[in-house]
Structure 1
Amino acid sequence: MPLVQNIADKESFRDAVATISKDGKRNYIHPKKPSGKFYNLRSWFSIVYLVVFFTLPFIKVNGAPLLMINIIERKFILFGLIFWPQDFFIFGIGMVTFIVFIILFTVVFGRIFCGWACPQTIFMEMVFRKIEYWIDGDATQQKQLKAMPWNAKKIKKRAIKFILFFSISFIIANFFLAYLISMDELIGDITNPAAHIGTLASLLTFTTIFFFVYWWFREQVCIVVCPYGRLQGVLLDKNSIVVAYDRLRGEPRGKLVKQHNPHDDGHEKCAGCKGSGSCKSLAAQFVPAIKTADCIDCYACVRVCPTGIDIRNGTQLECINCTACMVACGAIMTSIHQPIGLIRYASE
């Protein structure tokens, strides 16, 4: 019985998600702005991704769009080739092939697609989140702004963010619709909206949906709605590559405490600065309170997580493998003169 209770205590974090409080209310996530090698790589990849997304609707092959999925007219165009309902068996084969690819990709690479190439993550973290950092500031400033009473400063910031978020949602909706009816037809419809009420209604509907997702719903799409995230529990195995915390190296974790500075006693040298008087690094100023492993329990990995999880609890369905915790932990390890990789891409 004690063993069962111990396991239950360790796994209790799986009984709830970080975005929902115990009384069922929404916990808003304010992740700290990440930085570092992997974040920069994701930023560059996102730029390429967005260029492709906003360019494809303008590309034509033999006079037809490169890609179009017109469900209403039951007309599908792929690389300039037109497919009609009688060609559905080809799409059936293609769909089965795609599903098999997704399964095999997930088994090998885990949820890396979610962190690097998912449109939801690209637009949320690399577009809307960056705008939010620019307007509201980093996580601490965002929390302060949220708690602040409504005054001229708060109204101004909220108004600017609202306008930008809605405008970008409107642009995304236009291009999303272009993939459904073609860019030429979209341009013709929006130049004469009175004669194309259906297109106008669709455009406003998609704009509202995108605005709702990126203004309020956010990470809940990945946690609650996305079916791909739900599949992780059955598709991942011990050989899958995931963002993981090295428990053998990190546990038992322990806080750092301020160490005695030899300069306070008039010493000419100390291990931290070797006589220079700098003693600037964390390693020079702090030591573990007790003998511990490498994790100093600083919660840097938790503060940058866009879904609010603690990666040290192990593999979780909420993790989108965005590498934010990796770069945050790596920066801390560097500052205390420990090797990076406490949190890294790994398999069990």
Structure 2
Amino acid sequence: MALNDMHDVQDVSQIYDEVSDWHINAGGEKVVAKRLKGRFRNLKWLGMSIWSIFFIGPYLRWDGQQAILFDIPNRQFNLFELTVFPQDIWMLSLTLLFFAILLAAVTSVAGRVFCGYFCFQTVWTDIYTYIETRFEGDTPQKAHKFKQAPWSIDKLWRVSAKHSLWIAIALLTGISFAAWFTDAFALWGDIFTLQAPLPVWISMATFGIFTYVFAGFMREQVCFWLCPYARLQGVMYDQDTVLPAYDAERGEPRGKLKKGQVDTSKGSCIDCKVCVAVCPTGIDIRKGQQEGCITCGMCIDACDSIMDKTDQPRGLIRYASYKELHHDANVLPLYKRPRVIIYSVILLTALAGIMYGFATLSPTEFKVIHNRQPLFVKLSDGSIQNKYTLKLLNKTQQAIEVRYQLSGLEGATLHGMNDQITVEPGKVVPLTALVRVHAEDINKALTSIEFKANVINNPEISTVYESIFMGPK
């Protein structure tokens, strides 16, 4: 090997040793991330705006009632004109499965997008740090200078204003959470008159304290040490996963460069460290993919702005896969990646189940339970009697009037429920029904019969249940 070639190998080795040397900020230093405008910052604001539903959602009204309400005492979930009861819990299970697999699928394709743009810890921390930078400085130097400055009326006012806003947001978070489980407008009156139930105060205290501490003080340390998803992310990546990455081959060796200058002995990175300054977790993306990276893309915006100023093409830091950075020609498209295919099949299956569930959601649920002990009774007049328990759940928001009928068995009569029954919203009224038929009208041991629940005041929601009548062989 030639001497120059040996030097080239040593230089490349030194470069990759440098970029692979990274550490975790264990809380020893406070991260004050600089805010820059850019496309990924705009995407982050867009992702964060989804959480406005958390605050606004409980106040939406539908047909004179709260549009979305998790009514725990009455064991029902009101979603506009639909009411979901515990009997429909399988739809909730599919919904949770859908979002869990969606999280894994997105991570396998583009890394921790949820962490970077949608996670409540990330969002609340971003809001808290924004407030802090408005009062105490938007760079580590300004923040340190403010902290070391002697106490004055101006400093006291700024610190008090910051913590007051933090506490207000924390309390609003707790109240908003409670509002999903009770009438949102009535809730505020109960709070101001100190008449709110105990769960509301617990919600306010729990969410208030944790929001204030986690978003205000612990910040990225929650992601490092408390969030299980941060630990699991590594097993969801593969060599085709696109992540914010530094192109070391193009960027190294680093060196200062003025606008308009060209130095072929140096790489594109001018070692300005702006990518580090804007990172919300304080990592240096130039040292390789790290546990602290939440793939928010803030470093891409920072680097692109520097590339523009130095008249260099963008993309020194960009979303790229391992294969792309290492010039692998066999970068697989999404439809050829096994884990993406598996995730997609599960997602589509869960989504189909959810859509089917909502499309077939009935306003009532009717069940007929046959008494097994005894299977039948032979009466003194020679007729055969079966005993049933009828249960009708009213899933509507109005009381319904029900009358039961029997069909399917010649000569059968229904006893014990000749009167009209009123079923209140969200209630079940169990009734005992006796079905009798003369022995000569039975020609087999099992005969299909139908119970029909006729809803007098709303015939469209009348329902039928198929059961069996048992007699002697």
TM-score class, shorter-chain normalisation, is 0.7 to 0.9
- The residue number in structure 1 matching 2:239 is 238
Which one-letter code corresponds to 2:135 in the other structure?
Answer: I
8 Å CA contact 2:175, 2:200 repeated in 1:
no
Separation in 1 of the partners of 2:21 and 2:297? 24
Partner of 2:28, secondary structure, is coil
- The residue number in structure 2 matching 1:131 is 131
Separation in 2 of the partners of 1:131 and 1:302? 21
Could you list the per-position Cα deviations for residues 242-268 of structure 1 after superposition, in whole angstroms to 9, with x for gaps in the alignment? 111112211x232216xxxxxxxxxxx
8 Å CA contact 1:302, 1:311 repeated in 2:
yes
- The residue number in structure 2 matching 1:149 is 150
Separation in 2 of the partners of 1:137 and 1:51? 27
Change (3 A) 1:29 1:80: farther
Partner of 1:215, secondary structure, is helix
8 Å CA contact 1:172, 1:207 repeated in 2:
yes
8 Å CA contact 1:65, 1:80 repeated in 2:
no
Could you list the per-position Cα deviations for residues 26-68 of structure 1 after superposition, in whole angstroms to 9, with x for gaps in the alignment? 321111222223223433553x424433221112445554444
Partner of 2:180, secondary structure, is helix
8 Å CA contact 1:60, 1:80 repeated in 2:
no
Instruction: Tell whether 2:320 aligns with 1:343.
Output: no
Percentage of pairs with the same residue: 34
Separation in 2 of the partners of 1:86 and 1:28? 49
- The residue number in structure 1 matching 2:3 is none
Compare the two structures and name the one with the higher helix fraction: 1
Partner of 1:26, secondary structure, is coil
**Within 5 Å, which residues of 2 pair with 1:289-328?**
291-328=265-302
Separation in 2 of the partners of 1:122 and 1:247? 31
Compare the two structures and name the one with the higher strand fraction: 2
Change (3 A) 1:343 1:68: farther
Relative to the length of structure 1, the TM-score reads 0.78
**Within 5 Å, which residues of 2 pair with 1:170-249?**
170-184=171-185, 186-194=187-195, 196-249=197-250
Could you list the per-position Cα deviations for residues 148-170 of structure 1 after superposition, in whole angstroms to 9, with x for gaps in the alignment? 23333322221111111111222
How much has 1:10 moved relative to structure 2?
Answer: 6.6
Gaps of 5+ in 2: 1-9, 323-473
Separation in 1 of the partners of 2:17 and 2:309? 35
- The residue number in structure 2 matching 1:35 is 37
8 Å CA contact 1:189, 1:199 repeated in 2:
no
8 Å CA contact 1:255, 1:298 repeated in 2:
no
Instruction: Specify which of 240, 259, 272 is matched with residue 283 of structure 1.
Output: 259
Partner of 1:243, secondary structure, is strand
Separation in 2 of the partners of 1:283 and 1:10? 25
Separation in 1 of the partners of 2:104 and 2:63? 34
Partner of 1:244, secondary structure, is strand
- The residue number in structure 1 matching 2:107 is 106
Could you list the per-position Cα deviations for residues 83-118 of structure 1 after superposition, in whole angstroms to 9, with x for gaps in the alignment? 333333332233223322222222112112222222
8 Å CA contact 1:32, 1:304 repeated in 2:
yes
- The residue number in structure 2 matching 1:271 is none
Change (3 A) 1:321 1:73: farther
Report the structure number with the largest CA radius of gyration. 2
Change (3 A) 1:227 1:68: farther
Separation in 1 of the partners of 2:209 and 2:289? 34
